[in-house]
Structure 1
Amino acid sequence: MTAVPFTYVGESRDWLGALRRYFVFSAVAHLIWEFAHMPLYTIWLTGTPGEIVFAAVHCTGGDILITLSTFFLALMLFGRLTWPQTQGPRVLLAALIFGVGYTIFSEWLNIEIREAWAYRDLMPIIPVIDAGLSPVLQWVIIPTAAYSYALGWWPWRQRTPEVSHG
């Protein structure tokens, strides 16, 4: 059995760089998304500009914690020492399932039970689960885009073959 070295050379094998790219991309994208979908919530009509900004920034902080939790849980369960070269799709799928699952639970808890926020009529609702489409899409689109960015999975990007020197 061949031992896998702890450190790797090259961007595609840089697990720490991939994690950094994933989290920075996610944080920025969640902040943008929170401001973009704020008009779909009642605070857009009832809140002051300061309250709206606070809500978006506060929600982004929660999004960052959810990102950390779901991604590390996915890595712990499905990642391997050779990540990110291997198990990439499996880790991403797990992170998506955990993120969407938590989002559906959180939307239900905060809208139905706690009444911490409410949707406007503009928010498309997903039948059966009664969750807003925008927050669910947020937890599909942003992690997928962040993961693609972190690992260089862009369809238009040319891959250069690794050259063996030995």
Structure 2
Amino acid sequence: MTPGVMAGAGLWSALAFVLNLTWEIAQVRLYTIWAAADGLTVAWALLHCTLGDVLIALTMFALAGIALRRADWPTSRPWLGGVIFVIGALAFTAWSEWYNVYRAGNWGYTASMPMIFGIGLAPLLQWLILPPVMVGAYRMLGNRP
């Protein structure tokens, strides 16, 4: 792996961490853990979920790069790479939410969580809204000398 690819993945990871942590904090009240757990448990859940989001973001970054044969897809092919990223992230998130809520019981939704086909809307919107922001920030920050 070249230094440029590593730097790109590092920037992508940093953007993913900041944006997804912000999102996780904003949506935490839509999950049952908010009312059922103490502050330290909630903080750990936020960190754990954010790190999972970073892994999703890195995996989809790599998937788009492999599909396009361009590690620099956020600057060279942002629209197509973004579509690949969003489709993959949405598919994984829909499965993960279904599995963790209905099969494993790892978390649950409050009555405030908007639903679509039994899946929480907030985590799905996360992967529709944040990737374009990440691509824009990557393009702006990654082109600096």
Post-superposition Cα deviations, 1:61-101, rounded to whole Å, max 9, x if no partner, equal 11111111111011101243774543221111101110111
CA contact (8 A) 1:19 1:150 kept: no
Post-superposition Cα deviations, 1:20-62, rounded to whole Å, max 9, x if no partner, equal 4332111111111111111000111111111110110010111
TM-score by length of 1: 0.76
Aligned CA distance change for structure 1 residues 147 and 84 (closer, same or farther; 3 Å): closer
CA contact (8 A) 2:64 2:84 kept: yes
Q: What stretches of structure 2 of length at least 5 have no aligned partner?
A: 141-145
Give the whole-Å Cα distance in 2 for the aligned partners of 1:94 and 1:132: 22
> Which amino acid is 2:121 matched to?
L
CA contact (8 A) 2:65 2:72 kept: no
Aligned CA distance change for structure 1 residues 76 and 43 (closer, same or farther; 3 Å): same
TM-score by length of 2: 0.86
Q: What stretches of structure 1 of length at least 5 have no aligned partner?
A: 1-5, 8-13, 153-166
The yes-or-no answer on 1:111 pairing with 2:101 is yes
Indicate the residue corresponding to 2:53 in structure 1: 63
Give the whole-Å Cα distance in 2 for the aligned partners of 1:99 and 1:109: 15
Structure ranking higher in helix proportion: 2
Give the whole-Å Cα distance in 1 for the aligned partners of 2:46 and 2:72: 37
> Among residues 142, 145, 149, which one is paired with 2:133 in the alignment?
145
Give the whole-Å Cα distance in 1 for the aligned partners of 2:77 and 2:107: 37
Indicate the residue corresponding to 2:115 in structure 1: 125
Count of residues in Structure 1 that have an aligned counterpart in Structure 2: 140
Aligned CA distance change for structure 1 residues 38 and 16 (closer, same or farther; 3 Å): same
Give the whole-Å Cα distance in 2 for the aligned partners of 1:31 and 1:124: 20
